[in-house]
Structure 1
Amino acid sequence: MADDPDAARRQEIAGRVVYWIQRRGFTRKLFADRMGKSISWVDKIKSGDRQLDRLSVLEQIAAVLDVRLHVLLDSDEAARAESCADSVEIEALQEALQRYDGICGPPEFDQPPDLPVLNRTLNYCWTAFQASNYQAVTRLLPDFLVVLQQPYRGLPDSPEREPAANYLTQAYWLAAEIAFKLGRTDLGWLAGDRGIVVAEWTGDLALVGATIRRLVHALMASSGTDSGRRGVSLVMATAARLDAALATANPTLLSAYGALFLKGSIAAARIHDASLSRELNTEAGRVAALLGGDRNEHYSAFGPTNVLLHRVSALADMHEGGRVVEEASQISPGQLATLPRERRATHLLDVARGYSQWGKRDNAVQLLLQADQIAREEVRCRPLTHTLVLDLVRGYPRGSRPTAPLARIARELGIQV
């Protein structure tokens, strides 16, 4: 190998091939069959065989794995592709959301599904999401959504149908959240629309309120000029519906109610209604006080600290850079430590936006790098963060270059440095 100058390069390529074989869920035999080769040939490729020097072989491998050729050849392209869910995985999520056979067709199981197992899988997916492991969620969720539809449809007279509907609703929330993170508002809207049908069937106001929150997000992220206003109106109408049940509300309903106001505060900020945004945030703070502390009911992370974070986020959306920094300074590290990584990283990026708006580029870069340490996919995979990094890179004066850590992130995002 010492006499072979290309051996190290082949090993790098082989490592990428192995990664994508595993990520696509291929067995050695399945990959061999799709390549029209033997399993022993696959083993040679995985060990860095000289055939990896042949462009025709690499092109065929890339086609079978459904990746661009440069993902196998270029280190920056490879890092970018490995960081985030790709088009194949997003398409699988779209196909799962567009399927109705599990809702409208006959059940396809011989034995009722094990609901505790489904619940554990759901909790695993939500835990991964709150850890900003969006790629793992995107890989698991399509098949899981289809599986969850079966007990909801197939247990019409069973007491198990209600928990099945509960789990399915929460899975639709997760699909919506992932779609929003990846900039696919259309899929988020579809997931929310599917979820509200199931949530309404349960009659559980906490499920209804939390599902409406996703629909509000879809409205405020859409391109219509009045969509933000409609989002705020939907918040107010749903809050009025939930309000009647607050006298006997449990923490789950309180969290759904309060988080709805937080989403409304962001919707108001997006239409630059500062007064309404502040009013809705204040109302959320009142509900958080009733809750008595930071909680994570239905994976909402709702509580007093999240109210403060949304105040910062709303100000960033209104381009109030100085006020963003001022409000953020009131939040202690101890308060942030109570929140999931996804929330902490999102907050750091909001404050970074504030510093950038305020003209404090170095402070913004520092917070961006901190967010990248906490939740890599929150930085590498969101269109909103891509815009922030692009602004920071362009903010360097002619003849000056970004710092090495920022330049590395920019390159992985496909931004020329």
Structure 2
Amino acid sequence: MAQMADAHDEARRIGEVIRRARVLAKRSQANVAAALGYHQSKVSRLEQGKGTEDSQVLRAIAWELGIPLPAVGLAAVPDAITCDPETEDMHRRTFLAASLAAIATPAPPTAGHRDLIHSLLPGPIPPAGDGVQDIAELGSRVSTVRRLFCTCDYAELERTLPPLITDLRHSAAGSAEATGLLATAYQTSASLLLKLSDHGNAWLAVGRAMAEAERCGDPVILASSVRVHAHLLAREKHTVQAVTLVRHTVDQLTGAYDQRSPRYLAALGLLLLRGVTAASSGGDRSAAKDFLTEATDVARYVALDRPDAWANFSPTNVALHAVSAANAFGDAGVALETAGPLMRRHIPAPERRAALWVEAARAYNQQGRLADGYQALRIAESCAAQDVRRPAVRELVADMAARDRRRTLPELHHFSRQLGVPA
């Protein structure tokens, strides 16, 4: 009797594991069932803990939802007994699902990365570079690092930021304008660290950016610092706090758009778009829609597409975030419909061009159109090679390679090896 109760409890546990994985993947029972060639009732029964004794079905649904086999009571298939392509593919899918966290781990820090982190730490200011630079020169250098970010030259950006931060720290003591430039340098550092998935050190940069933004008193600088703060909160799954932070700040900045400078409007617009990302990451459709509507309104008054300090807010960028939000909600068809006109439009900033094609690849992947997804990724690589090598994109490539269980796209697997993704 006790054994029967234990078996029943285990079956219910496995059913709950399957249900949670499906919900996290934002997929319906019907969608999962169709992908596996089952009726929806079979997936429903599995989630209720019924039929879990069928190991073949369990393996299939674990593969489809990226669930490690031990989580549904199955042993991983050892290499030594891999005897047919189907079993081998199942083993590979399980391995890739378990490896996603490892893929996202940053590579060993380079000298430039270590210098950047050191520049964010508290302590005495290192000696300044040769000569005393005026505000105009420092402003030009800040514009350069922003341009490096928008063109996805992350390696050069890591080398350029530390000496700039040192020189700005020397100048900021007696200048509100230099303090604002320092806040922008810290914001850029945080954005770069987020691209590299170095969230721990990104908190250092965000803290520095917020402190300097408050010191300088410029609402534009403050809005930009709040934006990277909200970005980090959302990345760390604190989406409710991120949405609250954006909403609170936006409420203090909105209104009289026809009387605001392009710089002011661009900072506000980018903050609203960060709200879109945070809300969609948290599954809040209502908030995402509200932020998109407000951003669209702001974009009527400003269209900055140049890769400089405030230059990536425009109707184009609003549309890009609509694509990303649709993907986050699992609406791949809507994402691709929204992306279609953008694919035929010139987008000056390489980082934004790459983002469009990466989002297209995500949508194609959701639809199982792996060949189209692969082509989209190669276009993204042609726009910004370093951006495609960041951890988030490598995770996408890993998932696509895992879905191609029969290896019908050898070029996709070659690409995944080029990116260092486990195969």
TM-score (norm 2): 0.70
Q: Which residue of 2 aligns with 1:339?
A: 348
Q: Supply the distance in 2 between the matched residues of 1:110 and 1:394 (Cα, whole angstroms).
A: 52
Q: Partner of 1:331: helix, strand, or coil?
A: helix
Q: Is residue 309 of structure 2 the alignment partner of residue 313 of structure 1?
A: no
**Residue 244 of structure 1: how far off its partner (Å):** 6.0
**Residue 296 of structure 1: how far off its partner (Å):** 5.8
Q: Supply the distance in 2 between the matched residues of 1:209 and 1:265 (Cα, whole angstroms).
A: 15
1:226-245 alignment runs, 5 A limit: 227-243=238-254
Q: Which residue of 1 aligns with 2:124?
A: 101
**Residue 186 of structure 1: how far off its partner (Å):** 2.3
Deviation by residue 1:171-225 (Cα, 9 ceiling, x = unmatched): 11110110010001222222122112111222211111111000000110114xx
Q: Does structure 2 conserve the Cα–Cα contact (< 8 Å) formed by 1:109 and 1:150?
A: no
**Residue 376 of structure 1: how far off its partner (Å):** 0.3
Q: Partner of 1:319: helix, strand, or coil?
A: coil
Q: Supply the distance in 2 between the matched residues of 1:287 and 1:114 (Cα, whole angstroms).
A: 34
Q: Supply the distance in 2 between the matched residues of 1:309 and 1:386 (Cα, whole angstroms).
A: 20
Q: Is residue 148 of structure 2 the alignment partner of residue 128 of structure 1?
A: yes
Q: Which residue of 2 aligns with 1:378?
A: 387
- Structure 2 unaligned spans of 5+: 1-106
For this pair of structures, how many residues does the alignment match?
319
- Structure 1 unaligned spans of 5+: 1-83
Q: 1:173 to 1:322 in 2, by over 3 A?
A: same
Q: Which residue of 2 aligns with 1:396?
A: 404
1:1-400 alignment runs, 5 A limit: 86-102=109-125, 112-153=132-173, 156=174, 161-223=175-237, 227-243=238-254, 246=257, 248-291=259-302, 294=305, 298-334=309-345, 337-380=346-389, 382-398=390-406, 400=407
Q: Supply the distance in 2 between the matched residues of 1:315 and 1:289 (Cα, whole angstroms).
A: 22
Q: Does structure 1 conserve the Cα–Cα contact (< 8 Å) formed by 2:269 and 2:298?
A: yes
Q: 1:239 to 1:141 in 2, by over 3 A?
A: same
Q: 1:86 to 1:410 in 2, by over 3 A?
A: farther
Deviates further, 114-123 or 212-221:
114-123
Deviation by residue 1:345-392 (Cα, 9 ceiling, x = unmatched): 011101110110111111100000111111100111x11101111011
Q: Supply the distance in 1 between the matched residues of 2:134 and 2:171 (Cα, whole angstroms).
A: 9
Sequence identity percentage: 29
Q: CA RMSD in A?
A: 2.5
Deviates further, 122-131 or 370-379:
122-131
Higher relative contact order (CA 8 A, sep 6+): 2
Q: Supply the distance in 2 between the matched residues of 1:111 and 1:144 (Cα, whole angstroms).
A: 13
**Residue 261 of structure 1: how far off its partner (Å):** 0.9
**Residue 328 of structure 1: how far off its partner (Å):** 0.9
Deviates further, 285-294 or 362-371:
285-294
Q: 1:249 to 1:319 in 2, by over 3 A?
A: same
**Residue 133 of structure 1: how far off its partner (Å):** 0.7
Q: Supply the distance in 1 between the matched residues of 2:305 and 2:352 (Cα, whole angstroms).
A: 12
Q: 1:123 to 1:108 in 2, by over 3 A?
A: closer
Match among 375, 394, 413 for residue 419 of structure 2? 413
Q: Supply the distance in 2 between the matched residues of 1:415 and 1:291 (Cα, whole angstroms).
A: 40
Q: Supply the distance in 2 between the matched residues of 1:366 and 1:332 (Cα, whole angstroms).
A: 13
Q: 1:373 to 1:295 in 2, by over 3 A?
A: closer
Which amino acid letter does the alignment assign opposite residue 260 of structure 2? A
Q: Does structure 2 conserve the Cα–Cα contact (< 8 Å) formed by 1:130 and 1:340?
A: yes
Q: Supply the distance in 2 between the matched residues of 1:207 and 1:271 (Cα, whole angstroms).
A: 26
Q: Does structure 2 conserve the Cα–Cα contact (< 8 Å) formed by 1:319 and 1:357?
A: yes
**Residue 99 of structure 1: how far off its partner (Å):** 3.0
Deviates further, 345-354 or 165-174:
165-174
Q: Does structure 2 conserve the Cα–Cα contact (< 8 Å) formed by 1:85 and 1:138?
A: no
Which amino acid letter does the alignment assign opposite residue 415 of structure 2? I
Q: Supply the distance in 2 between the matched residues of 1:312 and 1:386 (Cα, whole angstroms).
A: 20
Q: 1:204 to 1:89 in 2, by over 3 A?
A: same
Q: Does structure 2 conserve the Cα–Cα contact (< 8 Å) formed by 1:268 and 1:276?
A: yes
Which amino acid letter does the alignment assign opposite residue 420 of structure 2? G
Q: Supply the distance in 2 between the matched residues of 1:345 and 1:108 (Cα, whole angstroms).
A: 36
